[in-house]
């Protein structure tokens, strides 16, 4: 069996069917209901006589785990993805978000890219290894977890608190939360090796309440409006770290918007904003802004409850994403100083969320295997390290010194922008490429 070539047409048919069925399971978080998804994955493993277990952190919040054991005692790689998905506004989709519809070479559904596709890729790798009788030299672990979209409290975090031995591994392959694109000569794939820390700032304002017919100068809404405008327009200082340096150096010869030397001036903290302002590609500029600086984006405002009453208090919520080397206290002081200089008064700032950023090295066996496997399956591939502005469960592992790498296979910004948006879907070609790359990566790491 091991010498027989893989029938990739048959693999494609099976994988597309599995993903379509997985997408039909509504695991919207909240409330989650991940146990339904976990049981589906467990049933597929059982068909191949692969034992697994479903652990519920609370009713309905299921996590499924299994492993493929080799002679070596230490688990090598953990294949991780999350079962839950964000809510979908069904009336705004071309096809129902939980239809799992397959049409024109695409698989539709909430979670098609974030990140049920990865769960089926990883599942197919397990099935292929088992069917081909390939006994690994090292342990391979599979974990499908709950609650990532709400912070991972009832998923990875809970498992680490209550069953840490089940997540033991030397390294992790998880979702990528990134995008790639074709240049003139190459296909650029981003490998997520770092992510910014997420935390949420609340800025509370106090004023003097009164009748709406009698305006005065202590209306807290005016200070809050000024603060929201100031933060929306503010550019925080550029900061260079190992991942941003590798990203910019990798993009410089490929981006085609300006001479490479000019693009490399992004690595000069005093020149970065000038170069950013000259980039006309909105998507690329947005990526680079998120990579080079902390961000504080107003997302929620709340004040008042009656149109003829001047409110005495109000608050705005700010989504903050923090670079490696920064922390929430430093950002809090920066925001306080910015608002004070711009004339905002009577405010206090509080935080929630840990705000912990994380990075993994790129000189590991696993990163090299990922890089080489992309090249073997796409001769035009170039793999570039990338820092995600959004948080993933990888941070729990990096915080414990375990390298974690996130994979994505799309070559279109438009495709990736459907994550958490309307009409989420993934191309069958990218989906099958992912299975091939992941299969080759695992073979390089657990069979040598």
pLDDT at position 131 over 70:
yes
Largest distance between two CA atoms of the chain = 85
Does 82 have pLDDT greater than 60?
yes
Three-state SS for 116-127 is HHHHHHHHHHHH
Q: How far apart are CA 388 and CA 195, in angstroms?
A: 4
Residue 43: what are its φ and ψ, rounded to 5°? -65, -35
* pLDDT for residue 178 is more than 70: no
Calpha distance 159→146 (Å, rounded): 10
Across residues 202-228, what is the average pLDDT?
A: 94
Confidence of residue 390 (pLDDT cuts 50, 70, 90): confident
Beta strands in 340-422 (DSSP E): 347-352, 358-359, 381-388, 404-407
Q: Give every CB contact of residue 430 below 8 A, 6+ residues apart in sequence.
A: 409, 410, 411
**Which residues lie closer than 8 Å to 366 by C-beta, 6 or more apart?**
77, 171, 173, 403, 405, 441, 445
| pLDDT above 70: percentage of residues in the chain | 98
Which pLDDT belongs to residue 121?
A: 97
Whole-number mean pLDDT of the chain? Answer: 93
pLDDT at 360 over 80: yes
| Residue whose C-alpha is closest to residue 339's, from 201, 191, 223 | 223
Look at residue 136 in the predicted model and tell me its pLDDT: 81
Mean pLDDT within 399-426 = 87
| Residue 392 DSSP label | -
* Residue 73 clears pLDDT 80, i.e. is over it: no
Whether residue 408 contacts residue 340, with contact meaning beta carbons closer than 8 Å, is answered with: no
pLDDT in tens, 222-270: 999 999 999 999 999 999 999 999 999 999 999 999 999 999 999 998 8
> Is residue 323 predicted with pLDDT exceeding 90?
yes
pLDDT of residue 353: 79
Model confidence at 338, pLDDT cuts 50, 70, 90, reads very high
Could you tell me what percent of the chain has a pLDDT over 90?
Answer: 81
**Gap between the Cα atoms of 381 and 433, Å rounded:** 12
The predicted-structure confidence for 2-13, as pLDDT tens digits, reads as follows: 668 999 999 999
Quick one: pLDDT at residue 159? 98
Task: Give the chain's domains with CATH numbers.
Answer: 8-182+359-446 (3.40.630.10), 195-352 (3.30.70.360)
pTM above 0.85, yes or no: yes
Give the N- to C-terminal CA distance of the chain in Å, as an integer.
19
- What local confidence, expressed as pLDDT, does residue 371 receive? 96
d(CA 402, CA 385): 17
Please give the pLDDT value at position 3. Answer: 64
Out of 39-43, 237-241, 418-422, the most confident range is: 39-43
Which two tokens mark 319?
Answer: 């989504």
Mean pLDDT of 402-411: 90
């Amino acid at each position: 069996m091991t010498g027989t070539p893989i029938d990739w047409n048959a693999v494609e048919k099976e994988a597309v069917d599995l993903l379509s069925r997985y997408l039909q399971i509504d695991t919207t978080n909240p409330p989650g209901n991940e146990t339904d998804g976990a049981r589906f994955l467990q049933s597929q493993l059982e068909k191949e006589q692969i034992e697994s277990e479903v652990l519920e952190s609370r009713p309905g919040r299921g996590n499924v785990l299994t492993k493929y054991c080799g002679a070596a005692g230490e688990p090598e790689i953990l294949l991780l993805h999350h079962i839950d998905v964000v809510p979908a506004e069904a009336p705004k989709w071309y096809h129902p978000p939980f239809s799992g519809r397959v049409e024109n070479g695409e698989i539709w559904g909430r979670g098609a890219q974030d990140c049920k596709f990865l769960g089926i890729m990883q599942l197919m790798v397990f099935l292929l290894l088992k069917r081909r009788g390939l006994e690994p030299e090292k342990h391979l672990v599979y974990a499908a977890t709950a609650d990532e979209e709400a912070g991972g409290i009832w998923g990875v975090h809970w498992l680490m608190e209550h069953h840490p031995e089940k997540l033991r591994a030397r390294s992790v392959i998880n979702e990528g939360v990134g995008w790639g694109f074709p240049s003139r000569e190459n296909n650029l794939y981003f490998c997520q090796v770092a992510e910014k820390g997420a935390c949420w700032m609340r800025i509370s304002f106090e004023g003097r309440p009164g009748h709406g017919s009698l305006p005065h100068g202590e209306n807290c809404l005016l200070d809050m409006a000024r603060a929201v405008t100031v933060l929306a327009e503010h550019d925080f200082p550029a900061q260079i770290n190992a991942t941003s340096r590798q990203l910019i150096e990798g993009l410089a010869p490929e981006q085609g918007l300006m001479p490479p030397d000019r693009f490399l001036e992004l690595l000069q903290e005093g020149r970065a904003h000038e170069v950013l302002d000259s980039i006309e590609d909105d998507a690329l500029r947005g990526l680079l802004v998120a990579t080079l600086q902390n961000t504080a984006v107003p997302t929620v405002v709340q004040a008042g409850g009656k149109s003829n009453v001047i409110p005495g208090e109000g608050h705005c919520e700010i989504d903050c994403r923090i670079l490696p080397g920064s922390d929430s206290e430093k950002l809090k002081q920066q925001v306080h100083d910015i608002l004070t200089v711009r004339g905002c008064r009577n405010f206090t700032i509080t935080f929630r969320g840990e705000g912990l950023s994380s990075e993994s090295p790129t000189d590991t066996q696993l990163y090299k295997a990922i890089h080489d496997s992309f090249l073997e399956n796409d001769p035009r591939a170039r793999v570039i390290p990338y820092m995600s502005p959004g948080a993933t469960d990888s941070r729990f592992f990096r915080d414990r010194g375990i390298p974690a790498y996130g994979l994505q296979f799309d070559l279109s910004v438009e495709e990736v922008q459907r994550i958490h948006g309307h009409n989420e879907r993934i191309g069958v070609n990218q989906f099958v490429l992912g299975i091939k790359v992941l299969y080759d990566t695992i073979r390089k790491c657990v069979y040598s």
